[in-house]
Amino acid sequence: DSGVTQTPKHLITATGQRVTLRCSPRSGDLSVYWYQQSLDQGLQFLIQYYNGEERAKGNILERFSAQQFPDLHSELNLSSLELGDSALYFCASSGTGANSPLHFGNGTRLTVT
């Protein structure tokens, strides 16, 4: 158990809809990262937050947004969903050291129909 909790585990929704994925980091970790894994793809970095502030941004679509709250949990909002957004979405957290490894949750599987 990595200590990172993601909810829900599965999500099925229709095109055009909006969903929110939730992540609780490991106790004490200030950094939260969101990654997307599409079929046969590696993990694509979306965005990182550190102690409530956006720290780094990857190829995140404008339809997607995220935030980190004062209690350090994070939410990833996906709107105007398209079929191609179907993927596994992973959250990870890390400590404050420069090379602290990322610890991943078990992911949310999003299916857009």
Partner 1 sequence: DQQVKQNSPSLSVQEGRISILNCDYTNSMFDYFLWYKKYPAEGPTFLISISSIKDKNEDGRFTVFLNKSAKHLSLHIVPSQPGDSAVYFCAVGGGLTGGGNKLTFGTGTQLKVEL
* Binding-site ranges for partner 1 (CB under 8 A): 2, 4, 6, 31, 33, 35, 40-45, 48, 50, 55-58, 90, 92, 94, 98-107
Minimum distance from CB of 94 to partner 1 (Å)?
5
Cβ nearer to partner 1, comparing 32 with 112: 32
Closer residue to partner 1 (CB): 33 or 64: 33
Q: Measured from the CB of residue 17, what is the shortest distance to partner 1 in angstroms?
A: 24
Rounded to a whole number of angstroms, the minimum distance from the CB of residue 2 to partner 1 is 6
Q: What is the DSSP string of the chain?
A: --S-EEE-SEEEE-TT--EEEEEEPPTT--EEEEEEE-TT--EEEEEEEETTEEEEE-S--TTEEEEE-TTS-EEEEE-S--GGG-EEEEEEEE-SSTTPPPEE---EEEEE-
State the minimum distance, in angstroms, from the CB of residue 71 to partner 1. Answer: 20
User: Please, which residues have CB within 8 angstroms of residue 106's CB and are 6 or more apart in sequence?
Assistant: 6, 9
Closer of 18 and 57 to partner 1 (Cβ): 57
